A and B are shown apart, each in its own frame.
Chain A
């Protein structure tokens, strides 16, 4: 029982630190929305938009966690980095699709660039979680 409680606490800690980024490109404007888990917006967070190592814009998110970057040039790849402070940050690479001038909204891909230790920790917890789930299922089935 202690192990189960510890497992869920660990999940919650890592889960609580996750910063999500969502991008939408429409009419030469890249809209950025950032929020933590449980949909709490990343307010007044720094947004750095860059391409090929060159910083194009430094923005701040509003009270809803949103910011917008107007672009007239065509970029192949844009990097959007959100810095929320207290060690919370996330980065996403956005590849522009070859689409018409009256552009459609694009789906973002959540590519992240996070600390390798956090990544391995999350992988380990997930694998342990999968094992734990099926162990519990087996115990439940055995007791039926």
Chain B
């Protein structure tokens, strides 16, 4: 899901970095003290999830859990995911530093859908909390690659198809995780 350094054009990187920088500054000012502990925990959860690899044929995909993070943090999920992405980019090469903006947009902004779905009341919402944000992230990723240039058209289709299993897996994980949490709360 992360885009590495040296792939995207500078126009996309500059615009996305500027947008995310403004958003993060706003979130820094807006964040409430009593929520910081929760945001920190979910940031760590998101970070650790990326090390859980699931083999799919010749390749493998890693968990993201942005839907679950978004369900519990709302807009603060963007801050949590942004910080985790920085460490992933610096130390592990997942994504990069110049691509932090675009990766935040692709991964973190759809997490808000997780919050939106979680606040609604219908039977399949637990599955959709995990699945829909990932589906939107995959669509954004494919779109960004297509915008980047004609040479990426095939790759964008392949990336989209390769991440469809992740949508279903994340939905299943979110379903069981949220069911468990409801049980524990009661």
Chain A residues with a Cβ under 8 A of chain B: 11, 14-15, 18, 20, 22, 76-77, 95, 97, 99-100, 104-110, 112, 122-123, 125-127, 129-131, 133-135, 137-138, 141-142
Whether the Cβ atoms of B59 and A14 lie closer than 8 Å is: no
Shortest CB–CB separation between residue A106 and chain B, in angstroms? 6
Chain B residues closer than 8 Å to A141, beta-carbon distance: 31, 33, 36
Chain B residues closer than 8 Å to A125, beta-carbon distance: 91
Whether the Cβ atoms of A18 and B93 lie closer than 8 Å is: yes
Chain B residues closer than 8 Å to A107, beta-carbon distance: 3-4, 7, 145, 152, 155, 159
Picked from A22, A122, A133, the residue with its CB within 8 Å of the CB of B91 is: A122
Whether the Cβ atoms of B151 and A104 lie closer than 8 Å is: yes
Whether the Cβ atoms of A110 and B93 lie closer than 8 Å is: yes
CB-nearest residue of chain A to B92: A122
CB-nearest residue of chain B to A100: B154
Shortest CB–CB separation between residue B30 and chain A, in angstroms? 11
Whether the Cβ atoms of A97 and B91 lie closer than 8 Å is: no
B83 touches A (CB below 8 Å):
yes
- How many chain B residues have a CB neighbour from A under 8 Å? 36
Shortest CB–CB separation between residue B42 and chain A, in angstroms? 10
Whether the Cβ atoms of B155 and A97 lie closer than 8 Å is: yes
Q: Please, how many angstroms separate the alpha-carbon atoms of A123 and B87 in the complex?
A: 9
Q: Please, how many angstroms separate the alpha-carbon atoms of A27 and B68 in the complex?
A: 43
B103 touches A (CB below 8 Å):
no
Picked from A15, A109, A127, A135, the residue with its CB within 8 Å of the CB of B90 is: A15
CB contact under 8 A between A129 and B58, given known A97-B155, A137-B36, A141-B36: no
Whether the Cβ atoms of B83 and A104 lie closer than 8 Å is: no
**Binary interface profile of B, 65-108, with partner A (CB < 8 Å = 1, else 0)?**
00000000000000000011001101111100000000000000
Shortest CB–CB separation between residue B146 and chain A, in angstroms? 12
Q: Closest 9 CB pairs between A and B?
A: A134-B40, A126-B87, A110-B93, A138-B36, A104-B151, A122-B91, A141-B33, A130-B43, A99-B154
